[in-house]
Structure 1
Amino acid sequence: MSEDRAFYPPVDPVQAGLKGRCPRCGEGRLFKGFLAVGDSCSNCGLDYGFADAGDGPAAFVILIIGFIVVGLALWMEVTYGPPLWLQFVLWTPLTLVLSLTALRLIKGVLLTLQYANKAREGRLDGPQ
């Protein structure tokens, strides 16, 4: 990521990420599809080449949504004891909807935080 010399008012990275907006100007779109990151900001021209969240969003989604859904399923099993088919019908759609929604939100937040903190790929220093 090259040094950013343009002046833009500070943008809250969490808020910009949740809205799917550019981490520099807070106006342009971050995503060109549901989860695909765009090439650059349509407003300020920031190149999104630096943006690589890797598997981070998926790991957070698995931990957060898994905790919620498994906890609710266990509570329902202990409290009401519904048949297995009902558990499947209830929790499968809920898991899919929550996971897809959370994946986009968390990916946006991680990418904007990556820009705000000037995070870069790790490098090993050679012998000096």
Structure 2
Amino acid sequence: MEQQVFGGEYQSGRPARPLWAAMRRGFLGRCPHCGEGKLFRAFVKPVEKCDVCGEDLHHHRSDDLPAYLVIVVVGHVVLGGFMAIEMTSTWSMWQHLAVWVPLTLIMALGLLQPIKGAVIGLQWANYMHGFGGEDDQLETHPEL
């Protein structure tokens, strides 16, 4: 059985790609390879290939991770703010709803695309899911 190895030169023998730079480029909506081309053609729909450098970007498999990360970030901010307000003042229920519901929606929608871009940059930098030149092979377990 052959095992696919992710990562740079120490793990796989391939040249290391800049992890933080790729994630920053993805966070800003740019190609993780060149930092010039657009990463998204729609709100959370990545382009198939970079218009500037030609890097194939259709390999990404970010799936649900960006949404989970957004939930963690937004949840911590909103819950922390809610608890701080509850400890220091006496807001009515409608005041809480008027502040926290819009803030939650704005933060979630505002962070979803940048975090998805950062996850795609992470996958590109670590040669994951086809970004290393090989296709992902589905594992089969006939004994199951």
The answer (yes or no) to whether the contact 2:18–2:125 under 8 Å persists in 1 is: no
1:124 equivalent in alignment to 2:139: yes
Which AA in structure 1 matches 2:116?
K
Tell me which residue corresponds to 2:79: 70
Residue aligning to 1:4: none
Match of 2:92 in 1: 83
Q: How far did residue 14 of structure 1 move? A: 2.1
Larger mean CA deviation between 57-66 and 45-54 belongs to 45-54
Quote the residue 1:34 is aligned against.
43
Letter in 1 for 2:114: L
Q: Which runs of 4+ in 1 moved over 6 A?
A: none
After superposition, the Cα gap between the structure-2 partners of 1:33 and 1:47, relative to the gap in structure 1 and judged at 3 Å, is: same
Residues 1:61 and 2:70 aligned together:
yes
Find the aligned partners of 1:78 and 1:126 in 2 and give their Cα distance. Answer: 54
Aligned to 1:45, what secondary structure does the other structure show?
A: coil
TM-score by length of 2: 0.74
CA distance in 1, matches of 2:141, 2:109: 41
Structure 1 portions without partners, runs of 5+: 1-8
Taking the aligned partners of 1:25 and 1:111, their CA distance within structure 2 comes to: 14
3-state secondary structure, aligned to 1:89: helix
- Mapped to 2, the partners of 1:86 and 1:10 lie a distance apart of 45
Structure 1 residue 46 corresponds to structure 2 residue 61: no
RMSD (Å) for aligned C-alpha atoms:
2.1
| Residue aligned with 2:58, SS | helix
- DSSP-derived class of the 1:50 partner: coil
Distance change in 2, residues 1:126/1:74 (3 Å):
closer
Residue identity opposite 2:124 in structure 1: Y
> What is the deviation of 1:10?
5.8
- Shift, 1:75, TM fit: 1.3
The equivalent of 1:5 in structure 2 is none
Structure 2 segments unaligned to the other structure (5+ residues): 1-16, 130-135
- TM-score by length of structure 1 reads 0.83
Q: Number of residues paired by the alignment?
A: 119
Query: Could you tell me how far apart the structure 2 residues matched to 1:52 and 1:73 are?
Result: 34
Which residue type is aligned with residue 104 of structure 1?
Answer: Q
Q: CA deviation at 1:124?
A: 3.4
